[in-house]
Every structure is written in C-alpha cells, then in structure tokens.
Amino acid sequence: MRHAFFATSALVGAALLSIAPPVVAQSGGVELRVDRLEKEMRAVQRKVFPAGTPLEAEITRPATPSVAPGTPASAPIADLTARVGALESQLASVTGQVEENSYKLRQLEEAFNKYKAETDARLSQPEPSAPATRPTVNVPAESVTAAPRPSAPRPAAPAAASEERKTAVAAIERPSSGNAGEDAYSYGFRLWDAKFYPEAQAQLKTTVDKYGDASVGSRAANLLGRAYLDDGKPALASVAFYENYQKRPRGDRAADSLAYLGEALIQLKKPADACKVYQELEQVYGSSLSSSQRGMMDKGRTKAKCN
C-alpha cells in the first residue's frame, strides 16, 4: 500500500513537470508581445507629441490578484492576453489619428502655398493709373480701314470747299485770350457749333495732339468724337471717345465720352458692347453723373435693350 502511494505521487509529479514548460513558454511569449507593443506605443507618442507631452495610457496594468491555492495556472495568461488586445486596439486608434492629422496638414500646406502664389502674383503687377475696371469694347473693323492708326485717328481731308464755304469758315472768329490751348479748343468748338464738321475735326485733332495732357485735352478729345459722330462717322467717333476715357479717366469729359461711346456703338449696331459701356459708366461715375448724363445713359440702355 505504501509502495503504491509513492508510485502514484511520482506519476503526478512527472505529469506536472511535463505541463509546466509549455505554460512558462506561453507566458514568456505574451510578455514579449506586451513589451513590443509598449515600445511601439512610445514611438507613436513621440511622433504625435514631439514636445514630449506624455500620452496617458487608457489601459493600465491590473493589480496582480492573489491566486488561491488550486487556482488554474491559465489566469495570468488570460490577463496578459487581455492587455495585449487592449494595447493593439489603442495603437491602431492612435496610428489612425496620426495618419488623419498628417493628411490634414498636407492639405493646409497646399492651400497656403496656393494662396501665397496668388498673392505674390497680384502684388507683382503694377498698379493701374486708370480706374480698376475698363470697358471691353470691340472696335469695329471699319474704324481700322477708315483710320490706319486707330489709337490716333486721322480725320479725312475736307473736300474741296466752295468759295462760299471758305468765306463762311473764315468768318468764324478765332479767339485770342492769351491761353493757346483754350483758344484752340474754343475755335474748334465754334466750328463744330456752326456745323463745319470736317474743319472742326481737323482743328480739334490738332488741339488734342498739342494740348492733350492739359486740362483742355479732355474737352477737346470729347468734342472731336462728337464732331465725328455728328458727321456720320460713328466708327471714328467710338475710337475717339474710348481713347479719351482710357487716357484721361479723371478728365472733365471722361463720363461724357463713355455716354457718347455707347451711342456710337448703338449706331454701329453693337448693342451688347454698348450695354457694357453703360455698365462701366454706372460703376465708375454713378454717384457723380449729372442728370443729363444719367438721362442719356438710361435712354441708351433702352435703345440697346440692356438687361
């Protein structure tokens, strides 16, 4: 009986020894996984918080429970497995946040670089001396054939005048106030007022060429356009009006030139361009338009059927 007891004890001891190594090996493998995950978590923390701000772990090591005698040896392994699962889940979440933040940072950098390039391009452009907006006017082809240089139209030479016409033109008094520019403009105005349009065109063109930079230049250029328009030459008139507004946007007759430019384009059967001119007139000079200028603009818009 005693020999049988010792034999049984020896068999149980041998069985326990045969079971222990796999358990120890399994526990050691889980510990290695935990250590690896904790190292990876610290690496992610350094990437997310380069200043060294710690990331408090949401998973803490549970207190090691006291194992009562006879408790199965698999309890520590189950605890380590739970810790590994929690760490893997937390690592995946933090890694996803890092990737999302990196993507948003790239988007912000691209948007800022685009904005900087556009700003630099705008600042590199020279400031315009005229108003910020300019009318888009298609100068008709007939104006090119009528004037080889549209930027500086030349009036056609007056037809051979009769002796009666020469006498009438000579009767127009030339002013002599001592101001050469004003006298030249006044003489051109008197010729235009007497309906001697070809002679007025020649006189006003000379006045613009000589005194275009003076205050009288805006009035002379505008009246030159009107002399063309009244003479049945809307193409030349449109060029003269547009150049007066373009070169002298703050001149005395800049707004008038835009209003008459719309009328010239209507006569040239270009209502869409006329509507653009009236829109420009409203935007640039709206608050300073006189009642006659606004009435001319409203009438032109009706004729051109502007929206």
* pTM for this predicted structure: 0.49
d(CA 294, CA 275): 14
Rounded to an integer, the average pLDDT of 2-14 is: 44
Which residue in this structure is represented by tokens 């929206």?
A: 307
- Contact by Cβ (8 Å): 293, 255: yes
Please name the residues in contact with 73: beta carbons below 8 A apart, sequence gap of 6 or more: 23
Q: Which CATH architecture has domain 142-304?
A: Alpha Horseshoe (1.25)
User: What does the pLDDT look like over 128-181, one tens digit per residue?
Assistant: 444 444 444 454 443 333 333 344 445 444 555 588 999 999 999 999 999 999
**DSSP-derived 3-state class of residue 234:** helix
Q: How far apart are CA 295 and CA 298, in angstroms?
A: 5
Number of C-beta neighbours around residue 205 at 10 A: 21
Enter the DSSP assignment of 286: G
Q: What is the mean pLDDT of residues 69-75?
A: 51
Give pLDDT tens digits for 246-302. Answer: 999 999 999 999 999 999 999 999 999 999 999 999 999 988 999 999 999 999 999
**Is residue 74 helix, strand or coil?**
coil
